[in-house]
Structure 1
Amino acid sequence: MSTKSGGKFNHLTIFILSCVLFDIVNASCREDAKKERSCEKLCDENGKCEIRAAVVISTNTTILASRSTVMPTLQLAEAEIRRRKLLPDDLNITWIPYDDRCDASHSLLSAIDAYSDDCVHVFFGPVCEYALASIARVVKFLGNSGTPQFTTGGLSFDFVREKKNCSGEYHMLTRTGLAGFQDISDFVLKVMDE
């Protein structure tokens, strides 16, 4: 994917670098100090380093971004990053899939399970708007530093709004898509005006 500057850009690279800095940057919106869980650290006491990534996405193959298409893509992206030596060799990425069924309640349940049972460092997905919103509203409160979330979804206006501080409803959400519905609408109107 090209950037405005014309160079190659990899969103997964930014994610991984963000996660590596996870212990340095505190983006939490919690006012109370929460006891840190040992699993939140990237490296354990034996020096084994791992990023646990929850991939919350539907298994329904009628949806373009379903688990059967997304998981292989993430694995290919990881392989490319490793080929380019952008990650330390001893840093393992574990992709943990969850089925959100494109449903807000199943999505939130997946997030609760991912955080409490698998102690994930980051969320990928969902892409369905309601499912995305339910997780995106709470990730800023998970862990001591908040938990980052990345999606190719989130095209409606609320997901595009500024998220620079905790007052933003979707503070920890990063959209990797190029345009939201408002951008597309503005473009169509400009074309029609010409």
Structure 2
Amino acid sequence: MGNEKRILLKEINLLENKKLIWGLNIAGIMLFFVFFFIFSKLGFLYSASLYQTFDFGALMLGVILFLGLIIIHELIHAVFFKTFQPTKKVKFGFKNGMAYATSPHSYYKKYQFIIICLAPFIIITAGLIIFFLLNILPASMFAFLVALHGAGCVGDFYFTYLILFAPKNIWIEDTEQGINFYY
């Protein structure tokens, strides 16, 4: 997208819209249970130890691994921001309980921003499945981490939904608060 005149179609301010944040948090909780159900079934197919007890050490390890996944998640976004807009800067932040990566004032085609949104979910989920199948992650930890990470992707899923139903030839601008749609 060059210097041609842009017409703003829609603005999504994710970080400052309290009602939207609450809605996404509720959707994230529901997603946690959906993903946990799906991936615990997968885990049960490959392991009889799915329902092992969680002790305090396992819980702490799960929390530490999840915090690591958040960092990896945002770094994956950054890699794809830079892949599609190599000269633009990427910023990282944390606001209203959400970690984020952003490339303010960068413009992307629909397919590019969908890739940016979904890449962390796909890559991390695939990685966790591989670690589980290689017996690096126990089944219960696997189901917990995939569900927690999947629930944490709710904002990415929301943006993807909006982009999929947006007009065909739009551009998406990444902003520090969310995204804008332009003709």
Query: What TM-score comes out, normalization by structure 2 length?
Result: 0.35
- TM normalised by structure 1 equals 0.34
Higher helix proportion: 2
